[in-house]
Amino acid sequence: MSLTDNLQVDAKGRLRHFLTVEGLPREQLVSIMDTADSFASVSEQAVKKVPILRGKTVVNLFFETSTRTRTTFELAAKRLSADVLNLNIATSATTKGESLLDTIRNIEAMQVDMFVVRHADSGAPHFIARHVAPHISVINAGDGRHAHPTQAMLDVYTIRKHKGRFEGLVVAIVGDILHSRVARSEIQALRILGAGEIRVVGPRTLLPPDAESLGVKVFVDLEQGLKDVDVVIMLRLQRERMNGAFIPSEHEYFAKFGLTEERLKVAKPDAIIMHPGPINRGIEIESKVADGPRSVILQQVTAGISIRMAVMSMVMSHETGGQRDV
Amino acid sequence: MSEQLLIKGGRLVDPASGTDAVLDVAIREGKIAALGAHPDGFVPDRVIDAQGLVVAPGFVDLAARFREPGFEHKATIQSESLAASAAGITTVCIPPDGVPITDTPAVAQLIQEIGHEIGKVRLCPIGALTRGLKGKDLSEMRSLKDAGCRSVSNAYSPVQSSLILRRSMEYAASHDLLVVFRPEDEDLADGGCAHEGIVATRMGLRGIPYAAETVAVAKVLALIEQTGARVHFSLISSARAMRSIARAQEKGFQVTADTAAHYLHLTESDIEGFDAQCHVSPPFRTLEDRDAMRQGVVDGVISAICSDHQPHEADAKLDAFPSTEPGISALETLLPLSLQLVNEGAMDLMTALRALTVSPARVMGLDAGTLSIGAPADVAIFDPLASWALGPDTWRSQGRNTPYWGQTLQGRIRYTLLGGQCVFERREN
């Protein structure tokens, strides 16, 4: 259908880049999770390394700051024995006026093999994937409001670990859906994997227009949105959005949309609580819940390493495609 | 000098008079001398064989940027004049947002003089509505009018102050200047780069809602009622805004509207895959909007189809979608896309050509857009069936930023006449 679909898989349907989960077949997502399973044990060994990417150079190309995502990508690459270069472009080249394409060309000239890209513009990793040399793979580590596919994969991986299935599951995603690339990718991944019902919950100012078109049920009331759910995914509310323009105050937000033990009573008794982090205690989630027995927030972080190892190893085994498209 | 010219055997389509017949056109002293029977003593110096071709008035384009002065790395008056004449366009209105901005008579005169020297197309600069397009002080509109501007506009810089908006409309009205608005409320547009709808929501692109256009239109309509200004809305993108304009027209307001040819074809879906060539402002909206606007052209609510030509250097489109510059290089697709509306059954040839000729000429108060006797002999002669592939060998504009690049379109200019002079002739095919 779109350029996206052809761009990230090779002629044999294998992952060449990982830009979005949209358009990927269910088997592909299952395969990523199965591969992650096989890597999970690596992190538990005394020597936490396998030689899969030995001699390869991975560049973490972060045009937007990040701690967690960059760190887990770095760890994942290192456990696969790759050499890792961290570039924080937000404070270097582009502020001097270098174009995105020039930045890419320059780093490409250093004979690297993979770009892990985070960028404030939706579509930036697609643009880069379309212009890099054929042997280079691009992994999207979050672009604008568009996609954060490895986060979505580690989330569904965590869900699979706890629930063992997707069919019939009711999943609620709560908070700032409008600005969230995590939510978009999660919704797509959950739909591809056949989740029973996906809900988004938040005030209208933080929901995308036409949210229903994403294939979700929309709730503006948290109690109703949490009723009988199996999984609750809380999203981080960015500080700059807390006071004024989107919600009147942190206080009112917590009062209406903060996740508390009390509110969770309407969810299924075995419901799990997830959060992509970093969490705002007392704003979107109370500590009792974040640290409670149903919280799998820290397991998500651990899963992030296995998932990223899986994706990195898979994209590096693709067949290099056609000519560079300029 | 005063060459006598005969266009022989072509299908003359002149929407101004409703003529659609095989008629010869005799041209003398730069004007249409006769249609059909030749005048006494008429001995043509040159005969153009137009059998199988359509003979129409030269097209009047209400919005095209030639990028000079100020952005010559994108295009020049020279390069775009050649592209325009190869596209059958004989009159072009140039928005005021070059560098320097067209807020002084000198800039308005400069544009016309360079255009005149090149001699391929008549250039009509649109003056700035406010000084520096800053929306604070009125421009010297009377002087701009004396320098040849027939209209004033703030182009892509909306006038945020309702008070300045009112005063600028009143001042324009007192000098009988048309005010051209590209309606978009900057606050509601909120830095968006795509239509706020299902595609932008899924792709995570910041959306521009319908309200950005409808609110701006409503505000201007209220001020037309207050000030009596003559207003033209440039680049309508939504059915909702169009319906507001239609209601104002029914009430007898002096208000007209245009859209660009590509808005009558492309929709929000065309940005899939982050195709920066479809990054335009206002954004492509839904199929329903597109179809409603096609009907709007038929009904006359949208009286003109313009090119909204915005040539760019390649780099302008080489970035992540939201960071690319909006706009399409569109002079050369104006006729093919308009003919495609006819081929798709959306309208007849007369209607499509009306929106390219007499209607925009009337909007701007120009003595152009018709082949009636005595009118300036600005003529577009084209083969409606000829197909051509858009590529480096066929393209003339310096800007190659078009989503149609590499595609084959139907409808090709064979001759363009400006004031009775043949300014373009296609020798191949």
ipTM: 0.91
B→A contacts (Cβ < 8 Å), by residue, are: 196-198, 201-207, 209, 272-276, 315, 318-323
Chain A residues touching residue B315 (CB < 8 angstroms): 99, 101
Judged on CB neighbours under 10 Å (0-12, 13-18, 19+), A273 is buried
Q: What is the pLDDT of residue A46?
A: 84
Q: Determine, for residues A101 and B319 on separate chains, whether the beta-carbon distance falls below 8 Å.
A: yes
Among chain A residues, CA nearest to B195? A209
Tell me the pLDDT band of A48, cut-offs 50, 70 and 90.
confident
pLDDT above 90 (res A318): no
Tell me the pLDDT band of A325, cut-offs 50, 70 and 90.
very low
In this prediction, residues A154-183 reach a mean pLDDT of 97
A contact residues 211-240, partner B, Cβ 8 Å cutoff = 211, 213-214
pLDDT above 60 (res A129): yes
Q: What is the pLDDT of residue A95?
A: 59
Among chain B residues, CA nearest to A4? B273
pLDDT above 60 (res A322): no
For A69-132, give the DSSP string.
Answer: HHHHHHHHHHHTT-EEEEEEGGGSGGGGT--HHHHHHHHHTT---EEEEEESSTTHHHHHHHHS
What lies within 8 Å, CB to CB, of A224 at 6+ separation is none
pTM: 0.93
Q: What is the pLDDT of residue B2?
A: 64
Q: Determine, for residues A122 and B321 on separate chains, whether the beta-carbon distance falls below 8 Å.
A: yes
Distance between B268 CA and the closest CA of chain A, angstroms: 13
Q: What is the pLDDT of residue A317?
A: 84
Q: What is the pLDDT of residue A47?
A: 83
Share of chain A above pLDDT 90, in %: 79
Distance between A125 CA and the closest CA of chain B, angstroms: 8
Task: Name which of A7, A121, A210 is nearest B321 (Cβ-Cβ).
Answer: A121
Among chain A residues, CA nearest to B274? A123
Quickly count: other Cβ atoms within 10 Å of residue A312's Cβ.
27
Q: Determine, for residues A123 and B197 on separate chains, whether the beta-carbon distance falls below 8 Å.
A: no
The angle subtended at Cα A34 by Cα A32 and Cα A40, nearest 5°, is 100
pLDDT above 60 (res A235): yes
Report how far apart, in Å, the C-alpha atoms of B42 and of each of B22, B26, B415 are.
Answer: 19, 8, 21
Q: Determine, for residues A122 and B203 on separate chains, whether the beta-carbon distance falls below 8 Å.
A: yes
- Active-site hit among B308, B315, B319, B383: B308
What is the tens place of the pLDDT at every residue in A97-118? 788 999 999 999 999 999 999 9
Quickly count: other Cβ atoms within 10 Å of residue B144's Cβ.
27
Low-confidence ranges of chain B (pLDDT < 50): 1
Q: Determine, for residues B321 and A101 on separate chains, whether the beta-carbon distance falls below 8 Å.
A: no
End-to-end CA distance of chain A: 21
Number of Cβ pairs closer than 8 Å across A and B? 84
Q: What is the pLDDT of residue A3?
A: 43
Chain B residues touching residue A119 (CB < 8 angstroms): 320
In this prediction, residues A223-229 reach a mean pLDDT of 98
The question of whether B308 is a catalytic residue gets the answer yes
Q: Determine, for residues A144 and B202 on separate chains, whether the beta-carbon distance falls below 8 Å.
A: no
Chain B residues touching residue A124 (CB < 8 angstroms): 320
Task: Name which of A126, A184, A213 is nearest B198 (Cβ-Cβ).
Answer: A213
In this prediction, residues A231-243 reach a mean pLDDT of 85
Among chain A residues, CA nearest to B322? A121
Q: What is the pLDDT of residue A68?
A: 87
Q: Determine, for residues A121 and B201 on separate chains, whether the beta-carbon distance falls below 8 Å.
A: no
Taking the C-alpha atoms of residue A39 and residue A247, their distance in angstroms, rounded to an integer, is 42
Which of B198, B199, B202 to substitute to test the interface with A, most A CBs within 10 Å? B202
Q: What is the pLDDT of residue A13?
A: 85
Chain A residues touching residue B277 (CB < 8 angstroms): none
What lies within 8 Å, CB to CB, of B220 at 6+ separation is B165, B169, B181, B183, B231, B233
φ and ψ at residue B108, rounded to 5 degrees:
-60, -40
Q: Determine, for residues A7 and B320 on separate chains, whether the beta-carbon distance falls below 8 Å.
A: no
Chain B residues touching residue A213 (CB < 8 angstroms): 198, 201-202
Distance between B321 CA and the closest CA of chain A, angstroms: 6
Taking the C-alpha atoms of residue B91 and residue B182, their distance in angstroms, rounded to an integer, is 20
Distance between A144 CA and the closest CA of chain B, angstroms: 7
Task: Name which of A127, A181, A208 is nearest B319 (Cβ-Cβ).
Answer: A127
